[in-house]
Structure 1
Amino acid sequence: MKNIVILISGSGSNMAAIVRAAEQGRWAERLNARVAAVLSNRADAQGLVFAQEHGIPTAVLDHKAFPSREAFDAALMAEIDQQAPDLVVLAGFMRILTPGFVAHYAGRLINIHPSLLPAFPGLNTHQRALDAGCRFAGATVHQVTAELDHGQILAQAVVPILPGDTAATLSARVLSQEHQIYPRAVAAWISDFSQSVA
């Protein structure tokens, strides 16, 4: 069984979309894959409740309890590695990861970013797209590398920017697309991985 570990910091809506897709698409039977665990750096992350309700093991590592970013990432790696992960999925995990962490999971660490990369890496993507006068925005699933929001693009969704859009209205439309492309990209990654090691 191929193990997927998902990291969240908040509501975990993308994690929930992946879990639902795994259930409805019968990933365990079709892809020999499962969401093995959901981890968070915040004990109050609402997504933990969803994961528990779906029978998925959860764990919390509070980054504030560690003396450095490196110490937190080392503890997080130890927690993740208990699941023997084939894929680590960042789903609203609001931490910049150390180069050592990224290197440890090189080629099996993916993220979703709320812009059409390479445009607007980093934060405040929707407001920046509006301020730049863009006609389109969107979301990107990408491999994680040591350079923020710069890894190989795995999937994208394009959303038109409408007259009168605010960062909030644009964010909501982009998020609905994230919930569609992220589960598809995870399933495609697992399927491609299975073929490459077959």
Structure 2
Amino acid sequence: MTTLHETIIPEKRVRRITVLISGSGSNLQAILNSCGTDKLPNAQVTHVISSRSNAYGLTRAKTHKPSIPTSVCALKTFQNRNPGSTREHYDLEIARQVVESKPDLVVLAGWMHILSDKFLEILNGEKPPPPAPALPPPQINSLPTKSDEIKLPSLDKLKISDKNENEQKKKDEVEVKEESSSSSTSESKLPEPPLHQSFPIPIINLHPALPGAFDGANAIGRAFDSFQKGEITNTGVMVHKVIAEVDRGQPLIVRDVEIKKEDKLEDLEARIHEVEHQIIVEGAKMVLEELEKETR
């Protein structure tokens, strides 16, 4: 029972995060593991959108507790099912799916498509999302395994038996279960969406390079080549806000990453991925804390 002198502090709403992926989803897993902990309190991933139907990140989302809704929208599939559609139409459909998921934050975690101005206009609240396409993406009936992401030249040529494939699937299933059980969340179910969507919806991206260096694709490989030529002594990783110019949004978190003389490309990739898993969570927390201050 409260008195006239007591102040009732409303419970903080659990913030909803929509994550866009294209691959294995290791950065998605880092976010999932951090939700509901001190690293990312009062937050939960509530939707995952993939540009590839065989992305293992879909399995991470579906087997998480609570299970996270997913959708797949591949560019070629979208265009085949909607004749005459362009790349801009595809971006509009991605924006529609994002807004429909009612997020407080959108995280690009290994999303392999450059998003156009049309996408940003919708998430900034400048234009309404389009209606759903006549033919939505097909439903995915089975969960991808890690081996699904590897394009094999020929199963007959490599003589991969059904037994080996089944063993690989079992290994993947065990790994997903272990990751799901290790993740922490204060919610046994997904948080309810807000009654009204707020705009603009903040979007952050993870890029494996320092600000202004190696924008775009294959940033790690290009940095490694530059190091071999003596042009740079180190590289880095950043989380930045998403704007129309590729990888040119305001940096939120920047980390230097050492390149060693004895490094192979795989060594540098592993070192960068380790940092990525840390700062993608830190960047999400930073933006959500800013949102919390704005709503007080």
Q: TM-score, normalised by structure 2?
A: 0.63
Larger CA Rg, structure 1 vs 2: 2
Judge conservation of contact 1:18–1:182 (CA < 8 Å) in 2.
Answer: yes
1:190 aligns with 2:288: yes
1:76 aligns with 2:174: no
Judge conservation of contact 1:137–1:161 (CA < 8 Å) in 2.
Answer: yes
Judge conservation of contact 2:241–2:249 (CA < 8 Å) in 1.
Answer: yes
RMSD of Structure 2 on Structure 1 (CA) = 1.6
Deviates more, 1:120-129 or 1:50-59: 120-129
Q: Take 1:94 and 1:140, find their aligned partners in 2: how far apart are those partners?
A: 16
2:168 equivalent in structure 1: none
Deviation digits for residues 102-153 of structure 1, max 9, x if unmatched? 2322461110000111111112222322332322111110001100000000
Correspondence for 1:99 among 101, 113, 117: 117
Over 3 Å counting, the alpha-carbon distance change for 1:171 and 1:156 in structure 2 is: same
Which structure has more strand as a fraction of its residues? 1
2:152 equivalent in structure 1: none
Deviation digits for residues 7-50 of structure 1, max 9, x if unmatched? 001101111101111144485xx43x221101111110000000
Correspondence for 1:15 among 12, 19, 28: 28
Q: Take 2:68 and 2:97, find their aligned partners in 1: how far apart are those partners?
A: 15
| 1:86 positional shift | 1.4
Correspondence for 2:215 among 101, 121, 138: 121
AA aligned opposite 1:12: G
Superposed structure 1 runs of 4+ greater than 4 Å apart: none
Which structure has more helix as a fraction of its residues? 1
1:57 aligns with 2:69: yes
2:35 aligns to what SS in structure 1?
helix
The answer for unaligned runs of 5 or more in structure 1 is none
Judge conservation of contact 1:102–1:109 (CA < 8 Å) in 2.
Answer: no
Deviation digits for residues 133-180 of structure 1, max 9, x if unmatched? 322111110001100000000001211110122322111100100001
| 1:194 positional shift | 0.6
1:41 equivalent in structure 2: 51
AA aligned opposite 2:45: V
Aligned residues: 195
Q: Take 1:20 and 1:37, find their aligned partners in 2: how far apart are those partners?
A: 15
